[in-house]
Structure 1
Amino acid sequence: MKGIFWNSRGLKDLPKRRFLAEASLEHRLDFIALSETGRDNFAPQFLSSLAGGVDFDWHCLPPRGRSGGILLGVRCDSLEVRSVVMGDFAVKFRVRSKVDGFNWALVAVYGAAQPELKPEFLADLVWICGSEQLPILVGGDFNIIRRREEKNNDNFDGRWSFMFNTIIESLDLREIELSGRKFTWA
Structure 2
Amino acid sequence: MNAHPLKVLVWNVRGLNAQARRNALYQVVAAANPAIVCLQETKLQVVSVIDVRQCLGNKYENFFYLPAVGTRGGILVAWDDSITHISNPHYTNHTLTVLVKCPDDEHAWWLTCVYGLQDEVDKIEFMQDLVDIRDLHVGPWLVAGDFNLLARQEDKSNELVNRRMLRRFRAKLNRLELKEVYLNGRRYTWSNERRNATLERIDHFFVSNEWDEAFPTCFLSALGTAISDHCPLILDMNVEISMRKRFRFEAFWTKAEGFF
CA 1:49–1:164 in 2, change beyond 3 Å: closer, same or farther? same
| Amino acid paired to 2:44 | R
Say which structure, 1 or 2, has more relative contact order (CA 8 Å, 6+ apart). 2
Q: Once the 2 structures are TM-superposed, how far is the Cα of residue 13 of structure 1 from its aligned partner?
A: 3.8
CA distance, structure 1, for counterparts of residue 124 and residue 38 of structure 2: 23
Distance 2:161 2:70 in 1: 25
| 1:56 CA displacement | 3.4
Contact 2:99/2:110 (CA < 8 Å) preserved in 1?
yes
Q: Percent identity?
A: 29
In 1, Cα distance between equivalents of 2:133 and 2:24: 30
Residues 130-145 of structure 1 correspond to what in structure 2 (within 5 A)?
130-145=135-150
The answer to whether the 8 Å contact 2:44/2:71 transfers is no
Residues 6-85 of structure 1 correspond to what in structure 2 (within 5 A)? 6-85=11-90
| RMSD of Structure 2 on Structure 1 (CA) | 1.9
Q: For the structure 1 residues 172 and 51, does the alpha-carbon distance in structure 2 shift closer, same or farther, using more than 3 Å as the test?
A: same
Aligned length: 186
TM-score (norm 1): 0.90
Q: What's the TM-score once normalised by structure 2's chain length?
A: 0.66
Structure with greater Cα Rg: 2
Match of 2:162 among 153, 157, 160: 157
Which ranges of structure 2 fall in alignment gaps of 5 or more residues? 1-5, 192-260
Aligned ranges 1:91-130 → 2 under 5 Å: 91-130=96-135
Deviation at 1:39, TM superposition (A): 1.3
Farther-moved stretch of structure 1 (116-125 vs 57-66):
57-66
Aligned to 2:190: 185
Verify the 8 A CA contact 1:77 1:98 in the aligned structure 2. Answer: no
Unmatched tracts of structure 1, length 5 or more: none
Moved more, 107-116 or 11-20: 11-20
